[in-house]
Amino acid sequence: MLGLKLPTDPRWADLAGKSIEDILTDHAYCEQKATSTAISLIQNYPEYEDMVNQVSPLVKEEWGHFELVLQQLKKRNLKLGKQRKDHYVSALYTFMRNGGSRAESLAEKLLFSALIEARSCERFKLLSKNIEDEELRSFYKNLMVSEAGHYKLFLDLAYTIGGKDRTEKRWEEWLTYEADVMKQLELRGDRVH
Ligand SMILES: [Fe+2]
Ligand SMILES: [Fe+2]
């Protein structure tokens, strides 16, 4: 799915279904980070007008997702907990190539974002199919569709800005690396990744 090289262990969705408060908390912060990342793309690369125009509405959308997750917590009398260290994102971050041209470094950041969207989308799909709570199933189905759109947006922008051949090769490297990270991460039901 979405080019990912290692499907999520099917046991994950069961574990997640048993720790709703924790998974919703972790999910809320994923949306917060998606918002912050989108804002920093605009702050750091304002000369890429087309990118700015396409990413700007995404900021609002991701923050809207954060608010939707908060609503789901409130409805269930659950609390937003503290943010925890995100081992998945930290591991991906170490793979990020620094240096190169502006276009290369922007394309690299877009691939990083595309990858996180792809994995989130895959996991939301699992939740939409497996979680017991009917409302949460449809909640995750809607989010899955939305994150799939973001994945495509980031990947398309990376190709346009970074150039087809170079980006294709680098995307393949990212996918291989991400599968390796997934393999090594502990399977936990209280984390989206
Ligand atoms: Fe989102
Ligand atoms: Fe997203």
d(CA 74, CA 52): 33
Distance in Å, CA 117 to ligand 2 centroid: 5
Q: Which residues hold their Cβ within 5 A of ligand 1, which is an ion?
A: 31, 62, 65
DSSP for 24-62 reads HHHHHHHHHHHHHHHHHHHHH-TT-HHHHHHHHHHHHHH
Distance in Å, CA 68 to ligand 2 centroid: 13
Q: Among all ligands shown, which has an atom nearest to the Cα of 61?
A: 1
Distance in Å, CA 136 to ligand 1 centroid: 15
Which pLDDT score is estimated for 98?
87
Q: Going from the N-terminus, what domains does the chain have, and what CATH number goes with each? A: 17-184 (1.20.1260.10)
Which pLDDT score is estimated for 119?
96
What is the length of the chain? Answer: 193
Handedness of CA 150, 39, 142, 10 (dihedral sign): positive
Which pLDDT score is estimated for 1?
60
Average pLDDT, the chain: 95
Residue 94 is which amino acid? T
Distance in Å, CA 191 to ligand 1 centroid: 15
pLDDT tens sequence across 153-176: 999 999 999 999 999 999 999 999
Give the confidence band of 99 by pLDDT, cuts at 50, 70, 90. Answer: confident
Q: Among all ligands shown, which has an atom nearest to the Cα of 192?
A: 1
* Axis-axis angle for helices 134-162, 102-130 (nearest 10): 160
